[in-house]
Structure 1
Amino acid sequence: MFVRSMAAASPPPPPSTSLSSQPPSSSPSQLPLRAMPGTYGWPVVGPLSDRLDYFWFQGPEKFFRTRVEKYKSTVFRTNIPPAFPFFGNVNPNIVAVLDVKSFSHLFDMDLVDKRDVLIGDFRPSLGFYGGVRVGVYLDTTEPKHAKIKKFSMELLKRSSEVWLRELLSNLDKFWSTIETDVSKNDAASYIFPLQSCVFNFLTASLAGVKTSVSPEIAENGWKILNTWLAFQVIPTTKIGIPQPFEELLLHTWPYPPLIVAGGYKKLYNFINDHAGEVIRLGEEEFGLTRDETIHNILFVLGFNAYGGFSVFLPSLIGKIAGDNTGLQERLRTEVRKVCGSGSGSGLNFRTVNEMELVKSVVYETLRLNPPVPLQFARAREDFKISSHDAVFEVKKGELLCGYQPLVMRDGKIYEDPEEFKPDRFIGQTGSELLSYLFWSNGPQTGTPSESNKQCAAKDVVTLTACLIIADLFLRYDSVTGDMSSIKTVVKAK
């Protein structure tokens, strides 16, 4: 089946790459025990000051970098938004873990609890999911977690027969739109056509139903998901509109699900009316109610898959389209050597797995631009957490937070960590680095299961991205553009 074949195709893990393994550095017993630096400040004043730094004066990356420099430590206490002073009981206190060694503790399920911490101490109203607490908010110790995780993995297995076909079919439409727009306007904004492409192919692959059966969903389904996603994450996300408007209008309160209820109901009815086979799978084989099945399908489809690809793919396409170092020529040569010439010729999961440079470019893009920048977990008990340089005591119930754009630039793991190196993950040394690539809520060498919180589609995502690159260079000799638009395409001779 699909997931098994993906696991077989993945590079073998280097020695000792279990979830609990640590990067090559001093062992915890050799490191000094240090009092954890940092402070939460005075009530109200401390969280407000940190919130203004995070959203307004510094931005997320500078917020964490300046505190690493101030405390001379990659582990410290601070506050992180949101902190709604008049709505709910959101606690902004966190323990920041900003190097690979300390960050890896977030995946040790014996040490941490993942209950309701997808985006920190703030959880959007369950009304966004029809009142159902979907699998991503469940800890591994909760009985329903195993059922929903197994169901998600089974959806991926069942999609193996149509995934490639649906992806290539929708890429045909996507590139046709781009070519038309480039010829008319000398440039094509590709974000919305790409989102439509991704939505259509994911719906057919995961839910087993083509959006063409509902013209309204085919035209507007991806737009509904954009709105649904936005109102869940806006309170915790720096958008970039002028201050103080962003702070006052977007970060002051959680948004009610009523805003998106109408659109979400249309998606629910679409799955309910047309995805009978996968609904029966959830009910009969995994013991979920119909409501639980549909809402979890929508979350996996909308938040995990569509949302993740919508963030990641523009970074990938933009990096390739904007390159002037000869990377495109190298990618084109590798793709055509493996597949031959012509769009789709010889392209499949086996052949794309032979493309070492293509895979390395995907991994390097995920390292520098992880789709989910923040990862959270709560301490199950008191324990000692290790950075490269020291050991710190963490108390039961404390919320750990890792900012991946910094973690994945750990200079003690990655050479020239700020640079994009397309060859970084090639060869034996590159394969070993995969055990420190954490974009999927676990190492790239890890295996998703019902006993952990690693993304069920970890291998599917990377191979799909590789297929998109390979398809591009079977169609075109070159493309130019950036993270939002394509300016030229030169068809393959």
Structure 2
Amino acid sequence: MVAMASSGVPSIPSSISPPPVTLPLKNIPGSHGLPLFGSIADRLDYFWFQGPDKFFRSRMEKNRSTVFRTNVPPSFPFILSDPKVTAVLDCKSFAHLFDMEVVEKKNVLVGDFMPSTSFTGNMRVCAYLDTSESQHSKIKNFTIDILRRSSKIWIPELESNLSTFWDGIESEIANNQKSSFRNLLQPALFNFFSKTLVGADTAKSPEVAKSAHIDVIIWLGLQLVPTIHLGIFQPLEEIFLHSFRLPFFPIAGRYRRLYDFIEKEGEEVVQRGVSEFGLKKDEAIHNLIFTLGFNAYGGFSLFLPVLMDRILNDRTGLQQRIVDEVRAKSGSGLTFESVKEMELVYSFVYETLRLDPPVPTQYARARKDFKLSSHDAVFDIKKGELLCGYQPLVMRDPNVFEEPEAFKPDRFREEKGAALLDYLFWSNGPQTGMASEHNKQCAAKDLVVLTAVVFVAYIFRRYDSIAGEGGSITTLQRPN
């Protein structure tokens, strides 16, 4: 485990700790360009001409540095957030984003852009609070408590929903020769997280069971589309989706229905937030919706299809290796204890998180002047500067990962692989860190990985192999 500072904040691993004196102090290369025109040019590159990966990679190569100045959208003319950032694209510089001694996280979940608080009950939920704000510790501890209590039913509820999910896939394949699976995955995920996190059974509300998983996707989209690269509707995408903050009113009625559902069916959890953690009732409910909808359901709706695609597209015999491990380790069923023994499956999940993190960009604002180090230089960061890390490049740092562009499902196995977990940052901190009220690390970090491992293990307890293409499953081979 990573060392813990006296405040309970995960310290930066020793190999990426504050810079040794031998590193040269350099000016940060790059530029924000001319006022207005520089941000517009970068915005068009990011969304239209290059896309995020090429945008950051080309500037890193041009500046010959993993630390440089640039602009990130959204920006002028109708969104007035400040696009100027200092990009940090190697593991050593990126780690500073999680050092709460030198950075803060107030209102920087998606950079300087922040959706209207009308989407969250006219309040700033925990994701937008800095650790220095009093409500942060209350809400974070409430979330940690929810996850601790839910662990008792986590795997049984997950298996129950996965059973329904795969029954549906089998039915679709029988009728249509293929299943796109995503339309079945989302309701299963929503049902699972509603029950485990909120204690609310969607079966008690037919309207919620039918459409809440769609409602949440719309709710998320209206908040985040101005920051997301779609790349399929240009120039309409730039004109209509990236130029304005989108309004709350189209989803207001459905959000209220979800609020009422959690207020009624999740009453026990809500009341615990009030009585044990000092939250107001509406504060507890809006934070539960955000945790359920944004962190859990939204994150897994992105990550599990990527995990599935990795399985379907593998041509190296990985499926058979996973089958062998899963069945050898889970003879008595899937439990916390049996799953922990599945070293290959864990490594496979970690490697997928390395190359395809559900949240590609992370931000932090300098709390004070400090010196930031990359592998080969030191840079002065001034108080108030916004730092931006693009994880798909950070996690390809050749100074840390051998063959960084290659997908290697065994990468995180054994002692050497375990050491690399210091540099797996998908959870707003290192995988070896510990979520607490003193930091912004994902409270469900370990449960996220375990859930993905159980997802994979369930598949290969049920099937000898699966096959598909183009995002669809076409063949499922049951054991003889």
TM-score, scaled to structure 1: 0.95
* Letter matched to residue 39 of structure 2: P
Q: How far is the alpha carbon of 1:162 from its aligned partner?
A: 1.5
Structure-1 separation of matches of 2:41 and 2:107: 25
Task: Report SS of the residue matched to 1:30.
Answer: coil
Structure-1 separation of matches of 2:404 and 2:277: 43
Q: 2:419 — aligned with what?
A: 432
Task: Please list the CA deviations of residues 209-254 of structure 1 after superposition, one character each: whole Å capped at 9, or x if unmatched.
Answer: 2100001101111000010011111000111223111111210101
Q: 2:227 — aligned with what?
A: 236
Q: How far is the alpha carbon of 1:481 from its aligned partner?
A: 2.2
Task: Report SS of the residue matched to 1:115.
Answer: coil
Q: 1:300 — aligned with what?
A: 291
Q: From 202, 209, 217, give the equivalent of 2:208.
A: 217
Structure-2 separation of matches of 1:104 and 1:44: 30
Q: How far is the alpha carbon of 1:25 from its aligned partner?
A: 9.3
Asked whether 1:366 is paired with 2:353, we answer yes
Q: From 414, 421, 433, give the equivalent of 1:446.
A: 433
Task: Please list the CA deviations of residues 291-320 of structure 1 after superposition, one character each: whole Å capped at 9, or x if unmatched.
Answer: 000000000000000011011101111101
Task: Report SS of the residue matched to 1:48.
Answer: helix
Q: 2:364 — aligned with what?
A: 377
> For 1:257-406, what aligned pairs fall within 5 Å after superposition?
257-340=248-331, 345-406=332-393
CA contact (8 A) 1:441 1:453 kept: yes
Q: How far is the alpha carbon of 1:184 from its aligned partner?
A: 1.3
Deviating more after overlay: 329-338 vs 182-191:
182-191
CA contact (8 A) 1:23 1:413 kept: no
Q: 2:188 — aligned with what?
A: 197
Structure-2 separation of matches of 1:24 and 1:55: 32
Q: 1:3 — aligned with what?
A: none
Structure-2 separation of matches of 1:65 and 1:202: 36
* Letter matched to residue 95 of structure 2: S
Structure-2 separation of matches of 1:72 and 1:203: 47
* Letter matched to residue 367 of structure 2: R
Q: 2:122 — aligned with what?
A: 131
Task: Report SS of the residue matched to 1:346.
Answer: coil
Task: Please list the CA deviations of residues 17-51 of structure 1 after superposition, one character each: whole Å capped at 9, or x if unmatched.
Answer: 95323536994311000011011111110000100
* Letter matched to residue 182 of structure 1: I
CA contact (8 A) 2:105 2:128 kept: yes
CA contact (8 A) 2:16 2:95 kept: no
Q: 1:181 — aligned with what?
A: 172
Asked whether 1:82 is paired with 2:74, we answer yes
Deviating more after overlay: 249-258 vs 398-407:
249-258
Task: Report SS of the residue matched to 1:329.
Answer: helix
Taking structure 1 as reference, are residues 14 and 109 closer, same or farther at Cα in structure 2, changes over 3 Å only? closer
CA contact (8 A) 1:19 1:104 kept: no
Taking structure 1 as reference, are residues 170 and 13 closer, same or farther at Cα in structure 2, changes over 3 Å only? same
Unaligned residue ranges in structure 1 (runs of 5+): 1-11
Q: 1:69 — aligned with what?
A: 61
Task: Report SS of the residue matched to 1:200.
Answer: helix
Structure-1 separation of matches of 2:305 and 2:69: 33
Structure-2 separation of matches of 1:483 and 1:427: 34
Q: How far is the alpha carbon of 1:13 from its aligned partner?
A: 5.1
CA contact (8 A) 1:357 1:423 kept: yes
Task: Report SS of the residue matched to 2:371.
Answer: strand
Deviating more after overlay: 465-474 vs 14-23:
14-23
CA contact (8 A) 2:179 2:473 kept: yes
Structure-2 separation of matches of 1:332 and 1:120: 42
CA RMSD of aligned residues (A): 1.5
Task: Please list the CA deviations of residues 317-339 of structure 1 after superposition, one character each: whole Å capped at 9, or x if unmatched.
Answer: 11012211100000000000111
Structure-2 separation of matches of 1:458 and 1:169: 22
CA contact (8 A) 2:51 2:231 kept: no
Q: 1:109 — aligned with what?
A: 100
Give the fraction of aligned pairs with identical amino acids, expressed as a percent: 55
Structure-2 separation of matches of 1:144 and 1:27: 34
Task: Please list the CA deviations of residues 342-383 of structure 1 after superposition, one character each: whole Å capped at 9, or x if unmatched.
Answer: xxx521111001000000000000000000000000001111
Deviating more after overlay: 247-256 vs 356-365:
247-256
Structure-2 separation of matches of 1:211 and 1:322: 34
Task: Report SS of the residue matched to 1:40.
Answer: coil
Structure-2 separation of matches of 1:24 and 1:114: 21
Structure-2 separation of matches of 1:441 and 1:482: 32
Structure-1 separation of matches of 2:468 and 2:366: 44
Task: Report SS of the residue matched to 2:389.
Answer: strand
Structure-1 separation of matches of 2:371 and 2:16: 18
Task: Report SS of the residue matched to 1:279.
Answer: helix
Deviating more after overlay: 483-492 vs 197-206:
483-492
**How many residues are aligned here?**
477
Task: Please list the CA deviations of residues 437-485 of structure 1 after superposition, one character each: whole Å capped at 9, or x if unmatched.
Answer: 0000000000000000000000000001001111100000000125732
Q: From 79, 88, 99, give the equivalent of 2:90.
A: 99
Task: Report SS of the residue matched to 1:188.
Answer: coil
Task: Report SS of the residue matched to 2:25.
Answer: coil
TM-score, scaled to structure 2: 0.97
CA contact (8 A) 1:375 1:403 kept: yes
Structure-2 separation of matches of 1:14 and 1:116: 28
Q: 1:119 — aligned with what?
A: 110
Structure-1 separation of matches of 2:299 and 2:253: 23
